[in-house]
Chains A and B, each alone.
Chain A
Amino acid sequence: MFLHLLFLLSALLTLAGAAMVLITRNIMHSCIYLLASLIGVAGLYATLGADFVAVTQIMVYVGGIVILMLFAVMLTGGKDFVSKAQHLLGLAPTMGNRWTYTVGGLVALVFLFTNIHLLRRLGGMGQVKNDGAFAPTVDQIGNLLLTEHVLAFEISSVLLLGALVGAALIARPRHERSEK
């Protein structure tokens, strides 16, 4: 019962948030809506029994990435950034080219129908097997990380290092060129 409710709320939050990201003119508002959407996704993880992933999601994504984006927006004068709205049928203030909307809409429809077609084949595959008990996953994930997926683990650490150095290199201030 609780599960269904949680699922419903989380799904609603996710999708609403994503839609608002698309529609909102203000970039700061978009970031906040993304944040809401990501919290919703975390809730969905929770309903799936992926407790560690849900928490990691909130910590990293919500607490880290979106904040980072807000910083970037603030650093680049994003608050003042208001894109020219192009009203599509006067219904909702939208941004971007109407052609883009058309093409994008078509693409979305394509994906939609294809996937529904595929999913119908899946049919009654997935019923929640274990309806009640959710075992904690932290231990198992920790084990797996260091045994089966140790390579990816190490590489991801290198990747983070690279990203760190790279980001710092790209965005460093360049006031006095001659100093270097």
Chain B
Amino acid sequence: MKQEDQSRFAEEIREWLASRTFGSLSPVAVELRRDANSDEEEAWFFDVVLPNPDPAEETWPIDDIIALDLGVRDEALRRGLTWPWYVSFTPETEEEFADEDALEAPPAAS
């Protein structure tokens, strides 16, 4: 399979993913990047930006996350995108979270 075909398939899946709804999840944006995975293989990474969930729930509904995973897998298999590919999630806004790491220095080594 030509690399340009693979790039086109990945971009088509990115566009498909950005336009779909999975249960309560509607991606705000989807970024596609080509990078090495943990085995140093070239892989496709779909970085999905999601609206922040209900604070009482603390994260997104896991059944909807799984539906999104299955949707991407089915599209990748249907279009012929070659493994590996990965989907990760980023909240739309993080302003309500203060990063504690920035508030104090790490303990001195003894």
Q: Does A pair with B?
A: no
Tell me the B residues contacting A by CB distance below 8 Å.
none
